């Protein structure tokens, strides 16, 4: 069988890259459109949409939309609220769900399989279904504040955090990942006299980077994009997150330039978070076949 010539290999490589570049462009175009449009006046933005100019920073380019966005809404406050709520939730969620996953994967206790089935079954229950009862619950919960015991959690950060401290998908991800780890690790640690918590904290979690990254990204996106729940529980502007804030920009005559500027600003934390965990995320998908 004749070997491939260098020319054939080069052509093949070129074709492969051409396809990859094309696919990359398809994925990048919306982001480019958003960023470029955020620099244009609304009328120009709309008239440019019918040509390639939509993706080019041409015409009347300025940062006016960004200035106007800050005038229209407390953008910095919304971004802070979202990052705070999301970060706290993701960190606590990873701790709680990884512990639950560890228990399901490694500990022996009565009814474990049934309980895991129940947890996984909750995956099919959307938030919208339980939003009203959940609202009634949080509206009647006590909290110890500066003035003593207060009733009702509305208008606070905790009402946006606590209900999401655990979720079935994250537990499931950890269970699946832990089950693929060699049991020898656990047995060796047990022989060395380690407690279950020590095994969790010092043996299992340090080698669980990929699943932690995957779960963190998925949770981050889900929390950062929350709309319905924060809308229901934050009557005061002080606690509103970015997605509720986005609605400030949809008016009778929507200024699309400002919408794009706001979207560009609120996309930055998501991109930064994803890029920071990208390598571990890809490793996780490649090694476990988890598609998220």
Instruction: State the residues that interact with another protein by CB under 8 A.
Output: 43, 46-47, 49-50, 71-73, 132, 135-136, 139, 152, 154, 228, 231-233, 235-237, 244-245, 247-253
Q: Are 165 and 96 in contact (CB under 8 A)?
A: yes
Q: Which residue, 119 or 259, is less far from another protein as judged by CB?
A: 259
Q: In whole angstroms, give the CA distance from residue 86 to residue 220.
A: 6
Q: Are 90 and 96 in contact (CB under 8 A)?
A: no
Q: Which residue, 216 or 233, is less far from another protein as judged by CB?
A: 233
Which is it for strands 148-151 and 142-145: parallel, antiparallel or unpaired? antiparallel
Q: Which residue, 138 or 161, is less far from another protein as judged by CB?
A: 138
What is the nearest approach in angstroms of another protein to the Cβ of residue 132?
6
What is the nearest approach in angstroms of another protein to the Cβ of residue 48?
9
Q: Which residue, 32 or 134, is less far from another protein as judged by CB?
A: 134
What is the nearest approach in angstroms of another protein to the Cβ of residue 73?
5
Q: In whole angstroms, give the CA distance from residue 144 to residue 155.
A: 15
List the structure tokens of 99: 């512990």
What is the nearest approach in angstroms of another protein to the Cβ of residue 235?
6
Q: In whole angstroms, give the CA distance from residue 37 to residue 58.
A: 10
Q: Which residue, 42 or 283, is less far from another protein as judged by CB?
A: 42
Q: Which residue, 71 or 124, is less far from another protein as judged by CB?
A: 71
What is the nearest approach in angstroms of another protein to the Cβ of residue 35?
19
Backbone angles phi, psi at 56, to 5 degrees: -115, 140
What is the nearest approach in angstroms of another protein to the Cβ of residue 261?
13
Secondary structure (3-state) at 64: helix
- Choose among 244, 190, 220: nearest CA to 78: 244
What is the nearest approach in angstroms of another protein to the Cβ of residue 252?
6
In the numeric block, the tokens 């022989």 are attached to 191
Q: Which residue, 223 or 233, is less far from another protein as judged by CB?
A: 233
Q: Which residue, 200 or 256, is less far from another protein as judged by CB?
A: 256
Q: Are 256 and 238 in contact (CB under 8 A)?
A: no
What is the nearest approach in angstroms of another protein to the Cβ of residue 134?
11
List the structure tokens of 106: 């490694």
260-265 long-range contacts (CB < 8 A, ≥24 apart) are 260/34, 260/35, 260/37, 260/38, 260/45, 260/65, 261/38, 261/65, 261/66, 261/68, 261/69, 262/69, 262/73, 262/75, 263/34, 263/38, 264/34, 264/35, 264/38, 265/66, 265/69, 265/75, 265/79
């Amino acid at each position: 069988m004749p070997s491939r010539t260098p020319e054939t290999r080069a052509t093949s490589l070129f074709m492969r890259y051409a396809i990859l570049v094309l696919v990359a462009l398809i994925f990048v175009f919306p982001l480019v459109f958003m960023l470029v449009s955020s620099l244009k006046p609304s009328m120009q933005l709309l008239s440019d949409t019918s040509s390639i100019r939509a993706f080019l920073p041409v015409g009347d380019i300025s940062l006016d939309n960004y200035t106007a966005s800050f005038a229209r809404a407390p953008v910095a406050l919304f971004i802070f609220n979202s990052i705070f709520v999301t970060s706290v939730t993701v960190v606590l969620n990873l701790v709680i769900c990884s512990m639950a996953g560890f228990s399901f994967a490694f500990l022996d206790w009565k009814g474990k399989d049934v309980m895991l089935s129940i947890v996984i079954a909750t995956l099919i229950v959307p938030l919208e279904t339980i939003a009203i009862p959940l609202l009634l619950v949080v509206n009647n919960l006590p909290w110890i504040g500066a003035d003593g015991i207060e009733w009702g959690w509305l208008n606070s950060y905790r009402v946006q955090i606590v209900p999401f401290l655990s979720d079935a998908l994250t537990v499931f991800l950890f269970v699946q990942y832990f089950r693929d780890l060699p049991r020898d690790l656990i047995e060796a640690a047990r022989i060395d006299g380690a407690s279950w918590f020590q095994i969790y904290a010092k043996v299992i979690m340090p080698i669980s980077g990929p699943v932690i990254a995957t779960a963190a990204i998925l949770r981050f996106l889900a929390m950062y994009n929350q709309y319905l729940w924060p809308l229901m529980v934050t009557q005061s502007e002080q606690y509103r997150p970015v997605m509720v804030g986005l609605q400030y920009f949809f008016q009778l005559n929507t200024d699309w330039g400002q919408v794009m500027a706001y979207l560009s600003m609120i996309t930055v934390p998501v991109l930064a978070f994803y890029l920071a965990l990208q390598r571990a995320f890809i490793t996780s998908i490649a090694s476990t076949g988890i598609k998220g």
